[in-house]
Structure 1
Amino acid sequence: MTRTDFQTSVFEHIDEDACRLFQSSVELIGRRWSSGIMLALSRRATRFSAILAVVPGLSDRMLSQRLKELEHAGLIEREVLATTPVQVHYTLTERGADLMDSMQPIVAWGVRWES
């Protein structure tokens, strides 16, 4: 099988709609801090302060903004606990965990081809 044959067979199921969906997904997760926040959540950091502590350089303002974006995209969920003081916990949704799993091959590719 030639390289051209391989490319044709592997990519023939990808149409323009799939490309657009892929592009919007990559733009969301590629935004600065988004993947770091999702990684922190996958490692069980659930509180705002805990996420800030494990994502170096992330500001309160940017964390708040990214959490809202990720929640809107259905990748994380926010739970408000009626305690004194009020506690807010963030967790990955099934959709967010699936995205993290999907990123593993891309991370492996980056490690392999790091210059």
Structure 2
Amino acid sequence: MSKRTYTCGLDAAIAVMGGKWKGLVLFSLGEGPLRFGELRRVVPGISERMLILQLREMEAGGLVHREVHHQVPPKVEYSLTEFGHSLNTALAPLGEWGEEHMERIEALP
């Protein structure tokens, strides 16, 4: 399997983000660790299956840390890694731009 090369930094960043849900999960974890059920509640519209898939991909990509607390009942928390925090910081201006232009974007056909 060959290693992927990117044409620019934006190409590499989009490859890490891959899809609409990862940005919302990153944003949600920006305030601190959350359990799976909490994440599901704060990311509206995401299915359980999709959240599981996105968290696994983000963990494999080094964006998210999964910590299992061995207790009864089992407790699993998700948090951002340093790499995930850096991506979240980079996405903040994009989120601000979206907030500023939300009405215009919603009016698009």
Please confirm whether the aligned pair reaches a TM-score higher than 0.5, indicating the same fold: yes
TM-score bucket (shorter structure)? 0.7 to 0.9
Output the TM-score relative to the length of structure 2: 0.78
Is 1:38 equivalent to 2:26 in the alignment?
A: yes
Query: 2:63 pairs with 50, 75, 83, which one?
Result: 75
What are the residue-to-residue correspondences of 1:16-31 with 2, within 5 Å? 17=6, 19=8, 21-31=9-19
Q: Which is higher, the Rg of structure 1 or of structure 2? A: 1
Is 1:58 equivalent to 2:18 in the alignment?
A: no
SS at match of 2:34: coil
The structure with more helix, counted as a fraction of residues = 1
Per-residue CA deviations over 1:39-59 (Å, capped at 9, x if unaligned) read 111123510000001111111
Which portions of structure 1, spanning 4 or more consecutive aligned residues, are displaced by more than 4 angstroms? none
For 1:104, the equivalent position in structure 2 comes to 92
Provide the alpha-carbon RMSD of the alignment.
Answer: 2.0
Q: Which runs of 5+ in 2 are unaligned?
A: 105-109
SS at match of 1:33: helix
Q: Which runs of 5+ in 1 are unaligned?
A: 1-15
Deviation at 1:85, TM superposition (A): 1.3
Which of the pair has the greater relative contact order for Cα pairs under 8 Å at 6+ separation?
A: 2
